[in-house]
Amino acid sequence: MHGRGRGRRSAGLPGARWRWGRWKRRLSCRAAGGASACAKEGLHRAAPFRLLYSGRRRQEKGEHVEGEHANGSGCSTVALVREKPVRASRQTLEEARASHREQGFARYGGPKLAGERTVLEHGEEGYPDALMSVKNPPKRLFVVGDPGALQDGLAVVGARKATPYGLSCARRFARMAAEAGVCVISGGARGCDAQAHQGALEGGGRTVVVLGSGCDELYPAEHYALFQKVIDQGGAVVSEQEWGFPPLPYAFRARNRIIAGLSRGTLVVEAGLPSGTFSTADAALAAGRDVLAVPGAITAKTSRGCNRLIAQGAVPIIDDESFHDALFAAFGRLRQETTAAGARDSEEKPEEGVAFGDSERTVLEALAAAPATAEQLTRLSYAGTLPIAAASIPTALANLQRKGAIQRWRDGSYGMAR
């Protein structure tokens, strides 16, 4: 019976004690093909390596084991994988990295994205005008795909560890937006972001992935196929970081302002308290963009953030109809009247003899006095200054814009049509 002290000898393992120096030399030599090969390559001075699997299995009856893996204990080595020594020459490491890159692979896994590559400089032609209104706009954008996809779109964001309810909402509303001809913008992360991109692709529309890492260092790496499909369908993968910038935590929070800036509105499908999704909503409000939120159960921790946003004036998305109304209020077009050739011009003059409902007339009178955003009108409704239900404001704005009575300005406010 083996003891439990330092002198314990494990079955099938060489050596009597757990001494790291001996272990790394012996296992390095074994992996390199024996002591002679170890001496030739200088591996006796190798830095610690990573042992992926060094277990042993009992030799099956009738199985013949040859070479170094044969021993008198009836066991054979299953697998031993050793990484390159850390003390290897820098020139050798650089050559290995260069060879790896030449084969089209990124440092953090997966091949590089295929597609047109563009660098958009701040202030030059092609740089998105929508980003000029955000705080600290990026100096340059690195784009893989169609730069024309960086237009006013709808941001769909939510929790990474989302519930099935949040995932289905993200996919559903993104698909509806794509069917209405609206570009869907998100961060490409796990959870709601990935579902939003999938929904947009299913709807036959374009979608934009805003990364926190460089476009050649995809994170998460398992979304490579999704990102490539985004590019192939006319979308784009964009980042403010250099091509080979690693995925660092601070960069992901910074990229949220780009998601909000490229969008006319931000839809939060699921978020708890606290949540990183709020940085996107805050950036949208700071840039004068609309914020929409999907409500959830008051007992659900994953919906506390969305419920809080609605209480603070965000547009509630309670069904498909309310979502279409919000789309029309922000983009001036609905699903059934959207075509590839174009949608109804939101700035056309109001036709003679157009009738307005009571809620539309109330909103029209308020905008005739002074331009206002949807959030400002909602606050006036809650305060009792505007005699109209807050839930009917998005519909009234959509109808007035469709009839050509009002128009939406770049800062997100609404005013009388000229």
Shared domain check, 313 and 201:
yes
Determine, yes or no, domain membership for 106: no
Shared domain check, 245 and 130:
yes
Q: Which of 337, 371, 391 is the last residue of a domain?
A: 337
Residue 64 structural domain = 1-88
Position 394 scores a pLDDT of 82
Task: Provide the token pair at 311.
Answer: 């209480």
Residue 28 has pLDDT above 60, yes or no: no
Q: How many structural domains is the chain composed of?
A: 3
Shared domain check, 311 and 217:
yes
Contact 183, 153 (CB under 8 A): yes
Q: Which of 69, 88, 107 is the last residue of a domain?
A: 88
Determine, yes or no, domain membership for 197: yes
Cβ contacts of 224 within 8 Å, gap of 6 or more: 110, 111, 113, 218
Determine, yes or no, domain membership for 294: yes
Position 99 scores a pLDDT of 55
Determine, yes or no, domain membership for 102: no
Shared domain check, 156 and 279:
yes
Shared domain check, 367 and 330:
no
CATH code for the domain in which residue 204 is found: 3.40.50.450
Q: Which of 337, 367, 387 is the last residue of a domain?
A: 337
Shared domain check, 229 and 131:
yes
Shared domain check, 298 and 235:
yes
**What DSSP string describes 59-118?**
PPTT----GGG--TTSEEE-----PPPTTS-HHHHHHHHHHHHHTTB-TTSSBPPPS-EE
Task: Provide the token pair at 63.
Answer: 């199985």
Q: What is the chain's mean pLDDT, rounded? A: 75
Determine, yes or no, domain membership for 108: no
Tens digits of residue pLDDT in 183-193: 999 999 999 99
Shared domain check, 144 and 38:
no
Tens digits of residue pLDDT in 48-57: 433 333 344 4
Determine, yes or no, domain membership for 52: yes
Shared domain check, 244 and 313:
yes
Position 380 scores a pLDDT of 84
Shared domain check, 308 and 364:
no
Which residues face 291 on adjacent strands? 266
Residue 208 has pLDDT above 90, yes or no: yes
CATH code for the domain in which residue 409 is found: 1.10.10.10
Determine, yes or no, domain membership for 77: yes
Determine, yes or no, domain membership for 83: yes
Shared domain check, 303 and 167:
yes
Residue 13 has pLDDT above 50, yes or no: no
Tens digits of residue pLDDT in 330-378: 776 443 344 333 333 433 444 445 678 888 888 888 888 888 888 888 8
Shared domain check, 247 and 277:
yes
Contact 368, 416 (CB under 8 A): yes
Residue 213 has pLDDT above 50, yes or no: yes
Contact 139, 263 (CB under 8 A): no
State which H helix or E strand residue 142 sits in: strand 140-145
